[in-house]
Structure 1
Amino acid sequence: MASTPERGGLMDRDRIGKVCLALPGAMLDHPFGEHHDAYRVGGKMFVMVGEQGGVSFKVSDIAYEILTEMGRARPAPYLARARWVNLPDPSAWDDDELAEHFAIAHRIVAGKLTRKARVELGID
């Protein structure tokens, strides 16, 4: 798995970027303006950091139900129907746990790419 920030630190915009960009084929762009960081694999977004520092990411159907029902995350604005959750304060989460969620988000999105695209990105 990708290297993660040390335990106990704050998962801020920079650390989120380091974790996401360490994943195979990941890239950063700013389709919603310079204050929103969108991490993509194969052109598909898997994590987004908002202007205020909150983070949204893709999850499985089961994780979506569990995280939202437990109150650990809320449905992501505009993306909830696609099973994205939002954390207004990612620093409140354990770094390793959050890094694992980002890796899973990457895996979910990358898994929907064509085999050719995955091979080109070094994922398969």
Structure 2
Amino acid sequence: MTRDTVNKICEGLPGAEWSEPFGPGHDIWKVGGKIFAAIGAETPGVSVKTPDVETASMLIEAGVGAKAPYFHRSWVLLPFDAGKDELTHRIHRSYALIRASLTKKAQAALAPFDVDS
């Protein structure tokens, strides 16, 4: 997997917006103005949100990811060499978590999304 592959997964999500608020080379993906995926300029992976600190800790202990630098402990850094299915699943879960935290009005303005699809 590469940065481009991760960006293609993210850009296909309803209402997903890309920006570089931290400077060139920092790919930040948001929905409703909230970050759901982040790739640093020199980071060898993508940081995503998990449901809670326990899930993040479990993924780190299992070797699936690492602590995401600069983010809350409920975020993990998935390396680019993780399988495409794993990356897609974790990006979709992160997106769904952030989307669910939006106001009902903001959620209603987005096209439907099923995290399990």
TM band (smaller chain): 0.7 to 0.9
Counterpart in the other structure of 1:57? 48
What corresponds to 2:77 in structure 1? Answer: 86
Give 4+ residue runs of structure 1 displaced > 3 Å after superposition.
Answer: none
Q: Which residue of 2 aligns with 1:69?
A: 61
Partners of 1:25 and 1:123 within 8 A in 2: no
Matched residues in 1 for 2:111 and 2:63: separation? 36
Aligned to 1:44: 34
The residue type paired with residue 47 of structure 2 is S
Contact 2:65 2:76 in 1 (8 A): yes
Which segments of 5 or more consecutive residues in structure 1 lack a partner in the other structure? Answer: 1-10
- State the partner residue of 2:85: 96
Contact residue 64 and residue 82 of structure 2 kept, 8 A: no
In the alignment, the residues of structure 1 paired with residue 75 and residue 30 of structure 2 have an alpha-carbon distance, to the nearest angstrom, of 14
Pairwise CA RMSD of aligned residues?
Answer: 1.5
Post-superposition Cα deviations, 1:38-58, rounded to whole Å, max 9, x if no partner, equal 000000000001112421111
Structure 2 runs not aligned, ≥5 long? none
- The alignment-based identity, stated in percent, is 39
Map Cα deviations across residues 26-68 of structure 1 (whole Å, 9 max, x no partner).
1101111111000000000000011124211111224212111
Query: Looking at both structures, which has the greater relative contact order when contacts are Cα pairs under 8 Å and sequence separation is at least 6?
Result: 1
TM-score normalized by structure 2?
A: 0.86
Q: Matched residues in 2 for 1:30 and 1:123: separation?
A: 26
Cα distance, 1:17 vs structure 2: 0.7
